[in-house]
């Protein structure tokens, strides 16, 4: 009996792709229920408003196919009515600038996930690429508390080691790493150490395993190798604390790649997770070329011997539970508890 991806709730915890109607149709054909879409990398508050406005227009123009997701209930609705749910999130806290009150403002605008830092040190903390990570700043600690209060999910994917550990110790709520892999399987600065992933597991957080070629073994990585990594990571994290975050970069331009890596902070060429020898967008494995290929991951996990329930959890069930809880404001959680 083959396992059908359409019978699952499939959530991709990060995509950075060029969003157009064709891309949405491909995601739906690929069986995807909901995507965390990147609304900013280096943008400040004003620039992020423009990005949010562009998303409003996308939602209005493609209202028959997509819907904005701000709650777990929205994800369930998207699955039920057959629309693609889109969660907006920023891969940086640059939109907050130095203003604590903007956490609540961007939360109201549906920016339900924020990565504390992108590739550089910022007002909140530091990144996996900085030489020294001093940990959460004084402001950063306030940002953590405020994100916890309003129900904005903290993402540590590109965040440095000390800032991540500080956050995992401080956060009163579970934390996400939406797109990274264990560094003992694929050693890179962007992948995560046993220390971090142990702390994430203890925090009841979720790790999204990532197909971005520079975070695995390049385009040559086989589906079997990728699914073996997932299985080993599931063994380590526990089957309830792992999901998918492909970091898919479909149809993105080279200009965007430059913005992604260099922002406005350098005049020198930066390669990010790439290298001088491999300066452009990486080639993706043949089994994950477009969103049409999501079913391949399901088949790969099935071939690895996983059950429908295990695969369902990994493909989206865990993110669904995590986001359903994580997107609620603290006071809603208190109400829920007092009602039970």
What does the binding site for a copy of itself look like in residue numbers (CB under 8 A)?
A: 45-46, 49-50, 52-54, 56-57, 60, 99, 101-102, 104-105, 108-110
Q: How far is the CB of 52 from a copy of itself (least distance, A)?
A: 5
Q: How far is the CB of 149 from a copy of itself (least distance, A)?
A: 8
Q: Hey, what are 271's tokens?
A: 């390669």
Inter-residue contact 137 to 125 (CB < 8 Å):
yes
Strands (E), the chain: 11-15, 34-40, 66-68, 84-90, 111-115, 153-155, 176-177, 206-209, 242-244
Measure Cα distances from 29 to 5, 84, 185, 237 in Å: 10, 11, 31, 30
Cβ-based nearer residue to a copy of itself, 290 or 330: 330
Cβ-based nearer residue to a copy of itself, 26 or 105: 105
Q: How far is the CB of 145 from a copy of itself (least distance, A)?
A: 13
Q: How far is the CB of 56 from a copy of itself (least distance, A)?
A: 4
Q: Which residues pair with 179 in a beta bridge?
A: none
Cβ-based nearer residue to a copy of itself, 39 or 244: 39
Q: How far is the CB of 74 from a copy of itself (least distance, A)?
A: 15
Pick from 230, 219, 234, 191: nearest CA to 280? 219
Cβ-based nearer residue to a copy of itself, 60 or 81: 60
- Enter the DSSP assignment of 187: -
Q: How far out from the chain centre does Cα 39 lie?
A: 12
Q: How far is the CB of 38 from a copy of itself (least distance, A)?
A: 18
Q: Hey, what are 247's tokens?
A: 């970091």
Q: How far is the CB of 99 from a copy of itself (least distance, A)?
A: 6
Cβ-based nearer residue to a copy of itself, 51 or 201: 51
Name every residue whose Cβ is closer than 8 Å to that of residue 260 and which is 6 or more positions away in sequence.
16, 41, 272
Q: How far is the CB of 173 from a copy of itself (least distance, A)?
A: 18
Cβ-based nearer residue to a copy of itself, 82 or 101: 101
Cβ-based nearer residue to a copy of itself, 20 or 286: 20
Q: How far is the CB of 159 from a copy of itself (least distance, A)?
A: 24
**Residue that has been written with the tokens 């295990």 in this structure:** 310
Cβ-based nearer residue to a copy of itself, 55 or 118: 55
Q: How far apart are CA 153 and CA 257, in angstroms?
A: 26
Pick from 14, 7, 2, 26: nearest CA to 181? 14
Q: How far apart are CA 340 and CA 328, in angstroms?
A: 16
Cβ-based nearer residue to a copy of itself, 39 or 197: 39
Beta-carbon neighbour count of residue 50 at 10 Å? 11
Inter-residue contact 238 to 200 (CB < 8 Å):
no
Pick from 331, 332, 326, 76: nearest CA to 204? 326
């Amino acid at each position: 009996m083959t396992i059908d991806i359409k019978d699952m709730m499939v959530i991709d915890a990060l995509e950075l792709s060029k969003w157009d109607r064709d891309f949405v149709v491909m995601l739906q054909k690929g069986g995807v229920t909901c995507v965390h879409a990147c609304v900013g990398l280096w943008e400040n508050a004003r620039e992020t408003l423009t990005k949010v406005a562009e998303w409003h227009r996308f939602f209005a123009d493609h209202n028959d196919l997509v819907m904005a997701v701000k709650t777990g209930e929205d994800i369930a609705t998207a699955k039920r009515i057959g629309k693609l749910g889109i969660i907006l999130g920023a891969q940086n806290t640059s939109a907050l600038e130095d203003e604590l009150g903007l956490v609540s403002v961007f939360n109201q605008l549906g920016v339900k996930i924020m990565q504390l830092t992108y590739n550089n040190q910022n007002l909140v903390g530091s990144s996996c690429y900085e030489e020294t990570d001093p940990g959460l700043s004084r402001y950063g600690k306030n940002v953590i508390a405020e994100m916890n209060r309003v129900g904005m999910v903290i993402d540590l994917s590109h965040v440095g080691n000390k800032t991540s550990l500080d956050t995992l110790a401080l956060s009163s709520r579970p934390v996400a790493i939406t797109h990274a892999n264990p560094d003992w399987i694929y050693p890179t600065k962007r992948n995560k150490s046993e220390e971090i992933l142990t702390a994430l597991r203890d925090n009841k957080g979720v790790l999204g395993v990532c197909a971005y070629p520079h975070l695995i073994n390049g385009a040559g990585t086989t589906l079997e190798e990728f699914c073996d990594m997932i299985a080993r990571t599931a063994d380590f994290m526990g089957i309830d604390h792992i999901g998918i975050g492909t970091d898919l970069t479909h149809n993105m331009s080279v200009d965007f790649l430059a913005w992604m890596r260099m922002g406005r902070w350098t005049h020198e060429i930066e390669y990010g997770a790439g290298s001088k020898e491999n300066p452009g967008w990486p080639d993706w494995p043949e089994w994950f070329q477009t969103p049409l290929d999501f079913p391949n991951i399901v088949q790969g996990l099935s071939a690895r011997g996983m059950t429908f329930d295990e695969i369902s959890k990994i493909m989206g069930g865990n993110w669904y539970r995590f986001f359903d809880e994580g997107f609620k404001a603290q006071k809603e959680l208190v109400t829920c508890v007092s009602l039970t």
